[in-house]
Amino acid sequence: WTSTEEYIPHRPTLTIGRADLTYVPSLDYREPAFADVRNSPGFAVKIKCNGHFSKIPEELGGHHEILTYGHSFEQLMPPAKYFQEHPEWYSLIRGKRFAKGHSDWQLCLTNSQMLAELTKNVLDAIRRNPQAYSIFVTQNDGYGQCQCDHCQAATKREGAGAGPLLEMINAVAEQVDKEFPGFLVETFAYAWTRKTPLHVRPRSNVQIRVCGLESDFAQPIDSDANASYRDDIRGWGEIARNVVVFHYVSGYGCFVQPHPTIFNIGPDIRFFTQNKVDGVYMDTDSTPIGDFVRLRAWVFAHMLWNPTRDSLKLAEEFARGYYGLAGPQVLSYLQLTHNAVKRSGMKLHYANADTSFFSLDEMNEATRLWDQAEAAVAGGRGGA
C-alpha cells in the first residue's frame, strides 16, 4: 500500500501453474510524484513507477533520469554569467532586454550566437551524464517571451509561440543526435508555447511535455470544459513522435484541503494513451501530507501501469486494505467531495484555495463520516 505498510496473504500451500506472459505498458514513463514514491525507490518499483525523482538503481530496473530538470533556461544560460556581455541573448520586452526574476524573461530564441552557446552547454551537460534518458531545454515559468523582430516574425509565421521555440530546440537536438544518437531533448508545451505550430515539426529526438495549467480539474480532459487543453494534446500527438503530459493532481492553493480529482484520473489517462502520449508526470506536493496522498499514489500508479482498470474499484481496494473497517466511510467521503464540486459548477483550478463548493449540509455529512470512520477502527480494529 505504501513504503511502510503492506499486506501479504498467508497460504499454507502455494501452487503456481504455467505462466507465459509478456506485458508492455501503454505508458513508457510513469511518475506520480508523491513523496512516498519519490523517496522510496523500492516502493516505486513495487507499484511500477520509473520517474526521474524515484532514483531507482539499475539493479532494480532503473528510471528516467532527466538532466537540467525543470524550467532550465536559467540553468543552461545563467544571466549572471552572460547577460552583461550579451544582453541580446535574452528577451526584448517593451524595448528593453530582460534577464531578471524567474518568471520575467526568456531567451531570444532566434539569436544564432545564443543558440551556439546553448548547444555547447547542453552537450557539456550530456557528456557529464551520458547514461541519462533526456535533457530539459525548457522555457522559464510564466511569460516574458522575446518581442524582437525575428522572434515575432517566427511566431507570426507559425501561428504560435511554440514556433520559434521548436525551431531552436530542433537545432539543438540535431547537434545532440550527432554525438548521442537517440538521446532526447525535451521541452515544454506550456502557457505561451502550448498551441501547436503550423509548419515546424519536432525532430525524432525531441520530446514535447504538454502542460494544462489553466484546466478545470473537476472535469475530464476530454470534455468541453477543457477543450483547449484537449485539442492541444491531440495536436501534439499528431505531429510529434515523443509526447508526455505534465498533469496536475493536487491543489497547490492548499495541499491539505479537498481537491476532488481522484475519479477523473481513469478517463484522463485513457485519453492520454488514445492520443499517442508516451508518459505522464503527475505534479503534486512532495511533502508526506495532503489530500489522501497515499491513496492517490497507489491508485494513480496502478492506472498508469494499466489504464484499462477502474479507478473507483482501485480506490475501493486500497481503502479496504489500508483503512480497514474505516474503508467504506473513506470512500463515501471521497465521493461526497467529488459530488460537491460537480454540483457547485465551480472550476477547480490547479491552485484552488476555495472550498465554497461545500454546502453546510455536505460539511456536516463529511463530519459524520469521519466520526463513523474513527468509531469503526476504535481500539485498533482495522485490518486488511
Q: Is the pLDDT of residue 383 over 60?
A: no
Q: Is the pLDDT of residue 165 over 90?
A: yes
pLDDT at 101: 60
Check if the beta carbon of residue 212 is closer than 8 Å to that of residue 247.
Answer: yes
Share of the chain above pLDDT 90, in %: 89
pLDDT at 381: 54
Check if the beta carbon of residue 346 is closer than 8 Å to that of residue 354.
Answer: yes
Q: How far is CA 127 from CA 51, 58, 206, in A?
A: 21, 19, 18
Place of cell 551520458: 130
Share of the chain above pLDDT 70, in %: 98
Average pLDDT, the chain: 94
pLDDT at 384: 47
Nearest Cα to Cα of residue 88 among 151, 136, 140, 142: 151
Q: What is the pLDDT of residues 50-90, one digit of tens each?
A: 999 999 999 999 999 999 999 999 999 999 999 999 999 99
Q: What is the pLDDT of residues 262-305, one digit of tens each?
A: 989 999 999 999 999 999 999 987 778 889 999 999 999 999 99
Q: Is the pLDDT of residue 382 over 60?
A: no
pLDDT at 289: 85
Nearest Cα to Cα of residue 277 among 350, 210, 327, 189: 210
Place of cell 508526455: 244
Q: What is the pLDDT of residues 112-155, one digit of tens each?
A: 999 999 999 999 999 999 999 999 999 999 899 999 999 999 99
Contacts of 102 (CB under 8 A, 6+ apart): 71, 74, 140, 141, 142
From CA 351, how far away is CA 251, in angstroms rounded? 5
Q: What is the pLDDT of residues 94-113, one digit of tens each?
A: 999 988 765 579 999 999 99
Q: What is the pLDDT of residues 235-266, one digit of tens each?
A: 999 999 999 999 999 888 888 899 999 989 99
Number of alpha helices (DSSP H) and beta strands (DSSP E) in the chain: 13, 9
